[in-house]
Amino acid sequence: MITLHHYLILSGILFSIGALGVLIRRNAIVIFMCVELMLNAVNLTFIAFSRYLGNIDGQIFVFFVMTVAAAEAAVGLALMIAFYKNRESIDVEDMNIMKL
Amino acid sequence: MPEILFFTLVAAVAILSSILVVAMRNPINCALSLIMTFFCLATLYVMLDAPFMAAVQVIVYAGAIMVLIVFVIMLLNMRTETSKNYVHGVLVSCIVAVLTLFVISGFLKKSPLTGEPGLMTTDLVDKVGHTELIGRAMFSDFLLPFEITSILLLVAIVGSVILAKRKL
Amino acid sequence: MFDNVWLIPLLPLIGFLVNGLFGKKIKNEAVIGGIGTLAIFGSFLVSCGILIQMIGTSPEHRVFEKVIFPWIHSGNFKADMAFLVDPLSVVMIMVVTGVGSLIHLYSIGYMHGEEGFYRFFAYLNLFCMSMLLLVLGNNLLVMFIGWEGVGLCSYLLIGYYFHKKSAGDAAKKAFVMNRVGDFGFLVGLFTLYWWLGSNQNIWTINFMELKQASHLLPYGGVVTVATLCFFVGATGKSAQIPLFTWLPDAMEGPTPVSALIHAATMVTAGVYMIGRMSFIFIKSPDTMMVIAVVGAATAIFAATIGTAQNDIKRVLAYSTVSQLGFMFLAMGTGAFAAGIFHLMTHAFFKACLFLGSGSVIHAMHYALHHAHSHDDAQDMRNMGGLRKAMPITFITFLVSTIAIAGIPGFSGFFSKDEILWQAFSNPYHGGLNMILWGIGAVAACFTAFYMFRLVFMTFYGDCRIQPKAKSHLHESPLVITIPLMVLGFLAAVGGYIGLPKLIGELFGGIPNYFELWLDPVFELAQEYGHTYAQVGGHHNVALEWGLMGGSVVIALVGITIAFTMYIKNTELPGKFTSTFPALHRAVYNKWYIDELYDFLFVNPCKAFGNFLWKGFDVLVVDGIVNGVAAVVKGWSGAFRYTATGYVHNYAFVMAAGTMAILGYYIFR
C-alpha cells in the first residue's frame, strides 16, 4: 500500500536535490531548471495531500504554481538573454557587480 | 504489491534523473533529464487520481516551459563548460541539502498528518471526471485568483518582451 | 491712508529683492540707484500721506493698528505681523524715509564706479525695510525682527569693503557687540512676558495691550530687571557705555552708510525703544536713573575723545555717540518728547555733517588720486582751506555745525536746550539733577569745541594739501549737493516745530507742537512719573531763561576756544599737547577703552576659545568621533568578507538560515 509518506519523502528528496543544484551550479539556466525542479517537488506534495485529504483545493494550487512558473520562465529567460547580451555570459560568477 | 513496485520504479527514475539535472555538464543534457523527471511526476499524478494535472504537467512543463528553456540554451549557443562547472563549496552545499532533507523528514515524523477527509474520493473522480471537478472549483471558489493569474501572465509577457528587446 | 501702512516696509523690500537678485545683471548704475531711491522715496510719500491724515484726526484717535497676517498663535502666546501707527512711529518713519531717501540719492553720486554698486543699494534698501519694521511693529517680536535686521545690515554695510581686513574686523566687532545688546533685549522681553503672564495672566507682547496692562506692573522690582535688560539692548544698538566702541570703528563703511545707519537711524533704535515703552521704563526709578547717568557719562566721555581725533569721520562718530548720550539723558530724565525731538534734529544735522564729510573725502580722494599721493584722504591734517573749492559743501556743513553746537535759531539749540533744562528741572533724580545738568553742559561745550575744530581744520586756514593735488579739488556733483542742501535747510529750521514754551510765549503763545504731537504717546508715562515725583515740576521762568543763556554762553566758549586754537594761534594745540602729553595720549587713544576691553573680555574669550579648540574639541569631540569611526571601520573590515557580491553565497546563506530556523521549530 502506498501511503502519503511515500510521496512526501520522494518530494523531499527531489526538493533537496533541486536546492543542491541551485547552490552548486554556475550556469544560470541550469540553476533556473533546478528551481523548476523544486517547484515540482512542492507540486507533488500538494497533489498528494489533495488526494489523501479528499480536497481539490491543493490541485487548484498546483495550477497556480504552474502559472507562476510559466511567467517566471518567460521573465527569467528574458533576463538571461538581456544579461547575456551585455556580458557574453550567463555565469552567475560574472553577476558580481555588487562586489566592491 | 505491483502498485508499490511501480511506485518505487517511478520514484527511482525521478530521483536519478533529477540527480542528472544537477550533475550533467551540458545544459541540454540537464534539460532533457529534467523533462524525464517531469514525466515521472506526471505518472505519479495519475497514480494520485489527478489525470488532468498529469496532462497539464506534460503539456505546460514538459512541453511549453522546457521547450522555452531548450530554445534559450540553443539561442545563447552554450557549450559544455570544460573547466569549472561548479562553484566552490560543493561539500558544504551538500551538507545543506542533506540538512534540508533531514528537516523535511523530521517534519514528516513529528507531524500527525491527519485532517478532515474531504468530498473528493476516487469514486467521485471516476464518476464525474477530474477535469470537471477542477473546472467547477476553478470557476467558482477560485474565480478571483484565476482572473488575477491572467494579469500576472500579461505582466510577464510585457516584461519579457521589454527585457529581451534589443533597444528600449 | 492708514490702511496702506504695509506699503512702507514693502517698497524697500521690493527694492532690495530686485537689486539683490538682478542687480548684477542690470549693471546700469542709474537704473540700480533709481530703483533703490524710488523704493524708499515711495515709502516717504506714503509716510507723508499718513502724516497728513494723522494731523487731520483728533489726538485721541491717533492710534491705528494694522494686522498684515496672523503670525504665531501658540497657546497663550500671540504675535501678529502687525503695524502700529501712532504719533511716535509716524515721526520715526518720516525721519527714516525722509533722510533715507536723501542718502539714497546721495549714494548714487558717492558710490559711482564702486565695485558692487548693486550690492550697496540692496543692503541700503534692506536696512530701510528693517528699520521701518522696527519702528512700525506693533509688538516686541516684530520690533525684534527689525532690531536684528538693522544689526545685520549694519554688519553687511560696515564690511562693504570686505577685502580690507580692518573693515571686516569692524563689521565683526559691531555685530558681536550688538549681539550682547540683543541678548539683553530678549531677556527683558522674556522677563516682562513671563511676569505679566504668570502673575496677572496677561500673556502679551503687544505694545497697546502692554500699555493697558501697565498699571498692573509694580514700581521697581521686576520692572527694574526687565527695563535694565531692555536698556542693555539699547546701549548695544545706540552705542552707549559700555557697548559704544563699535560705532567709531563702523566708520570703515562707506560714508553714506555712516550717515544713514550710524548717525540718523539705526543708532536711534534704542532711544525709540525706550520711548515706545516709556510707560514701563518710568515705572522703575532706578532704571531711569541708570539711563540718565549712562547717557550723561557717554555724552561727556565721547565728547572728550572727539576733541583729539584727526580722522574727519571719527570725530563725527564720537560726536554721534555723544549726541546719543544726550538723547538717553533726556529719556532718563523723563523728557521723552525732548529725546525724540533731539533724535529728529540730530538726524538732520548729523546726516548733513556725514554727507558733507563724505563730499570732502570724495573730493580729497579724487585730488590725491590724481596727484598720485598716498596721503590719507580722511585725515584733517591733510586738509584746510577747502571752503573756496567746495562752497556748497562748506555752507551746509557750517550750518549743521552751528546747529549741533547749539547756537540759538538753529535746530540743535532747541532740542539740546530742552534736554539740558529737563535734566536740571526734572522731578525724578533729586540732587543728581545738578550733576546731570553740569555734565550735559560741559559735554555741550566740548561738542561746540570739537565741531568747530573740525570746521576750522577742514575748511579754514592754509591749505595743507600738496600743491599738485590742489588743482584737482572741485565741488561735488549735484546729486551729492542736493541732499546736502535739503539736509542743511532742515538742520537750520527743523527745530521750529518744537519751539520751547518760553520762546513760544514771546511770539504770542506758540505751543511746542512737537511735544503736543507726541503727548498721546507719553501721557501715560508722565502720569506714572507723577506718582513718585519728588517736587512737582518747579517752573521758574527766570531760571529757565538763565540756563538757556548759560548754554548759549557755553557753546560760544567752546567755539571761541576752537577759534583761538586753530585759527588765531595755531601753535597752541602743539603746546597743549607737549604740556600734557599723558592726557593727550590718553584722549587720542580713546581712553584706552578698546585695549581695556581687549584685556578684560576679548583676550580671555580668545584664550578660552583656544582651550576649547585644542583641549576640548581636538581631544574630546574629535576623539569621540574618530574613535567611533575607527571602531566601525574595524568591525566593518571584518564583516566585509561576508559581502562577496556572489549570488551563490547569498543563496547559500539564505537556504542555510531558512533551514536552521525551520529546524529549530521542528526539533525543539
ipTM: 0.91
- Share the mean pLDDT of chain C: 87
- C-alpha span between C258 and C250 (Å, rounded): 7
Question: A44, A10 in Cβ contact below 8 A?
Answer: yes
Check C666 against B92: CB less than 8 A apart.
no
Degrees (nearest 5) of the Cα angle C464, C465, C471? 135
CA–CA dist C342, C403 (Å, integer): 11
Which amino acid belongs to residue C32?
I
Minimal C-alpha gap between B76 and chain A (Å): 8
Contact C469, C373 (CB under 8 A): yes
| pLDDT mean over C163-185 | 90
- Enter the pTM of the model: 0.69
Tell me the three state secondary structure of residue C64: strand
Average pLDDT over residues C67-83: 87
Residue C62 phi/psi, 5° resolution? -90, 25
CA B3, distance to chain mean position in Å, is 23
Pick from B120-129, C354-363, C633-642 the range whose average pLDDT is largest.
C354-363
Whether residue B125 lies within 8 A of chain A, CB to CB, comes out as: no
Question: What pLDDT is recorded for position C291?
Answer: 92
Cα atoms in the Cβ-side hemisphere of radius 13 Å centred on C507: 9
pLDDT value of position B98: 87
- Give one word for C645, left, alpha or beta, with left for phi > 0 and alpha for psi -120 to 50: left
Confidence of residue B83 (pLDDT cuts 50, 70, 90): low
Q: What is the pLDDT of residue B85?
A: 55
Q: C640 or C129: which carries more pLDDT confidence?
A: C129
- Give the chain B residue whose CA is nearest to the CA of C667: B106
Chain B CB contacts of C646 under 8 Å are 87
Secondary structure letter of residue C535 according to DSSP: S
Distance from CA of A100 to the nearest CA of B (A): 20
Nearest chain C Cα to B102, which residue? C663
Q: Which chains touch C (3 or more CB pairs under 8 A)?
A: A, B
C-alpha span between C77 and C193 (Å, rounded): 9
Q: Is C17 left (phi over 0), alpha (psi -120 to 50) or beta?
A: alpha
B84: confidence class by pLDDT, cuts 50, 70, 90: low
What is the percent of chain A with per-residue pLDDT over 70, rounded to a whole number?
A: 95
Judging contacts by C-beta atoms under 8 Å, the chain A residues touching residue B62 are: none
Q: Confirm if A90 and C630 have CB atoms less than 8 A apart.
A: no
Q: Measure B3 CA to nearest chain C CA, in Å.
A: 32
Closest residue of A to B111, CA-based?
A5
Q: Which of A4, A47, A51, A73 is nearest to B42 (CA)?
A: A47
- Per-residue pLDDT at C131: 93
- Cross-chain Cβ contact A26/B134 below 8 Å: no
- Say yes or no to pLDDT of B33 above 90: yes
Distances in whole angstroms, Cα of residue C454 to Cα of each of C39, C313, C377, C460, C466:
35, 10, 15, 10, 20
* Distance between B111 CA and the closest CA of chain C, angstroms: 9
B153 inside 8 A of chain C by CB: no
CB-CB: which of A19, A92, A100 is closest to C647?
A92
Determine contact, residues B102/C662, Cβ cutoff 8 Å: no
Query: How far is residue C425's CA from residue C422's CA, in Å, rounded to a whole number?
Result: 5
Cell numbers standing for residue B24: 550533467
- Residue of A47, A72, A93 lying closest to B53 (CB–CB): A47
Please report the sign of the dihedral spanned by the C-alpha atoms of residue C175, residue C181, residue C183, residue C185. negative
**A29 → closest Cβ in B38, B69, B96:** B69
Average pLDDT over all residues of chain B: 86
* First-residue to last-residue Cα distance in chain A: 57
- Which residues of chain B are within 8 Å of residue A65 when distances are taken between CB atoms? none
Q: Do C659 and B100 touch (CB under 8 A)?
A: yes
Which of C640, C644, C652 comes nearest A23 by C-beta?
C652
Residue-wise pLDDT tens digits, C617-652: 888 888 899 999 999 999 988 887 777 777 777 888
Asked if residues B24 and A37 have their Cβ atoms less than 8 Å apart, the reply is: no
Residue in C640, C646, C652 closest to A93 by CB: C646
The partner residue sitting opposite C656, judged by closest CB among B87, B96, B107, is B96
**Can you tell me the mean pLDDT for B8-34?**
92
Of C82, C78, C59, which is closest to residue C69 (Cα–Cα)?
C82
Question: Contact at 8 Å (CB) between C131 and C138?
Answer: no
Distances, alpha carbon C264 to alpha carbons C90, C101, C239, in Å: 16, 12, 13
